[in-house]
Amino acid sequence: MEILVTGGAGYIGSHTCLELMENGYDVVVVDDLRNSDLEALRRVEALSGKALAFYNFDVCDQDRLDKVFGAHAINSVIHFAGLKAVGESVGMPLAYYANNLGSTLALAGCMKRHHVRNFIFSSSATVYAQDNRMPLAEGDALGCTNPYGWTKLMCEQILRDLCVAEPVFSVVLLRYFNPIGAHPSGRIGEDPAGIPNNLLPYITQTALGRHARLTVHGNDYDTPDGTGVRDYIHVVDLARGHLKALEYAKRNRGCEAINLGTGRGYSVLEILRAFETVNQVKVPYTIGPRRPGDLAAVYADPQKAGELLGWQAELGIEDMCRDAWNWQRNNPRGYRT
Ligand code: NAD
Ligand code: WQD
């Protein structure tokens, strides 16, 4: 059974491809490598001992997508391809809307033409409105503050409407919280271009000595130690969640939004301490001002994933910190090492 994985060379996509291949699925990847490296897929093949089919083109290209659907017996689609930097999206909204909506529309149209019904979509906790109480449950108010977030919310709406019009479709909107960590082999992991915005890659690069220190964005939040609290989830747990979502989509029709988080929040200082302790390395830091747009605390209610998918996160913060460092240490320049 072939699964089409768009954006399969990226951070979450590569881990999911590996999990799929290790569980007997045949994988077809479409990725134009705009934010990734083919080396990730070579390593996925080496780790799994299996080959995958790879196509290098833009998922917005319907004609080329049609040919891929014609050439493979695709049963389900996992759509990771997209632009994902919140700050960048504010400066280039049109590129974000064109790519994230365009790729989703192209794929959904192609699936309809080729009678492929199961669609797993990469959504984000960023679709929740800012004034919700924690933990965030799927029925909570939605709303965004930046173009990236809106692209995710708009894609959710497009796919919900599709399921109303075409009741044979089965769509799972997976709302990820904060994916971190890497495969325990240290062979695949997060490889951000340029200076990272996200906490964990900044920590691992600082531990390597590439940055003098981490700036903690604010310590005057209404949280136990004043620093921001997030629901960090191991990327391998997240990848496994996609396999559970695939199984669910095959058994059910309609559209479901489901959180993938642990339900437990950690502060920036807790992460720093855990990282230093488990890896026995020092990460110098300084306290800076709050980062505009940040919330004090964001964490999931993961109950629905447990009930519908039979999934819950199994790996803890020590695993996440150890595996993130194992990847970075072994690949100081990412896939270009
Ligand atoms: P990533 O950038 O590592 O992977 C995305 C992949 O898609 C890259 O390989 C990129 O080259 C490819 N791509 C982008 N646009 C494309 C296009 N039009 N055609 C073909 N390939 C294209 O990102 P990631 O962290 O693996 O995220 C995967 C998905 O999960 C994204 O949709 C992202 O918005 C979503 N998400 C990520 C996070 C996170 O913190 N990493 C959190 C919530 C949601
Ligand atoms: C985590 C915590 C920062 C960097 C973002 C997107 C979200 C989702 C995941 C895609 C916060 C603090 C960070 C640093 C710090 N992506 N921090 N110093 O902002 O929760 O979520 O990525 O869907 O949409 O917004 O993640 O890793 O940037 O920050 O103190 O150098 O670490 O203030 O409290 P965030 P993050």
CATH of the domain at 16: 3.40.50.720
List, in order, residues 6 or more apart from 227 with CB less than 8 Å away: 216, 218, 219, 221, 267, 268, 269
Please indicate whether residue 176 is annotated as part of the active site: no
Q: Is residue 76 part of a domain?
A: yes
Could you give the C-alpha distances from 210 to 145, 186, 195, 246, 283, in angstroms and in order? 32, 19, 10, 39, 11
Question: Which of 148, 182, 154 minimizes the C-alpha distance to 320?
Answer: 182
Closest-approaching ligand to the CA atom of 123 = 1
- In the chain, which residues have pLDDT < 50? none
Question: Which of 231, 240, 133, 111 minimizes the C-alpha distance to 177?
Answer: 231
* pLDDT score recorded for residue 1: 81
* pLDDT score recorded for residue 164: 98
Q: Is residue 123 part of a domain?
A: yes
Phi/psi at 257 (nearest 5 deg)? -95, 135
Ligand 1 pocket (Cβ < 6 Å) reads 7, 9-13, 30-36, 58-60, 80-82, 84, 99, 103, 122, 124, 176, 179
Question: Which of 29, 19, 79, 17 minimizes the C-alpha distance to 54?
Answer: 29
For ligand 2, the distance from its centroid to the CA atom of residue 26, given in whole angstroms, is: 34
Q: Is residue 305 part of a domain?
A: no
Q: Which atom of ligand 2 is nearest to the CA of 291?
A: 33
Q: Is residue 175 part of a domain?
A: yes
Number of structural domains the chain divides into: 1
Phi/psi at 329 (nearest 5 deg)? -65, -40
pLDDT tens, position by position, 97-115 = 999 999 999 999 999 999 9
* pLDDT score recorded for residue 337: 73
Q: Is residue 329 part of a domain?
A: no
Q: Which of 55, 96, 148, 176 is catalytic?
A: 148
For ligand 1, the distance from its centroid to the CA atom of residue 277, given in whole angstroms, is: 31
Range of 236's domain? Answer: 2-180+232-261
Question: Which helix H or strand E contains 160, and what residues bound it?
Answer: helix 147-165
In a 3-state reduction of DSSP, which class is residue 174? strand
CB 266 within 8 A of CB 141: no
Give me the sign of the Cα torsion angle 38, 36, 209, 232. Answer: negative
Q: Is the CB of 202 under 6 A from ligand 2?
A: yes
Query: Within 13 A of 49's CA, how many CA atoms are on the CB side?
Result: 3
Claim: this prediction has a pTM higher than 0.95: yes
Considering only CA atoms, which residue is closest to atom 33 of ligand 2? Answer: 217
Phi/psi at 99 (nearest 5 deg)? -75, -50
Three-state SS for 72-128 is: CCEEEEEECCCCCCHHHHHHCHHHHHHHHHHHHHHHHHHHHHCCCCEEEEEEEHHHE
* pLDDT score recorded for residue 139: 98
CB 305 within 8 A of CB 258: yes
Q: Is residue 313 part of a domain?
A: no
Distance of CA 67 to the CA centre of its chain: 27
For ligand 2, the distance from its centroid to the CA atom of residue 231, given in whole angstroms, is: 10
* pLDDT score recorded for residue 223: 98
Token pair 């919700």 is found at 132
For ligand 1, the distance from its centroid to the CA atom of residue 280, given in whole angstroms, is: 31
Distance CA 57, CA 44 (A): 19
Q: Is residue 239 part of a domain?
A: yes
* pLDDT score recorded for residue 200: 98
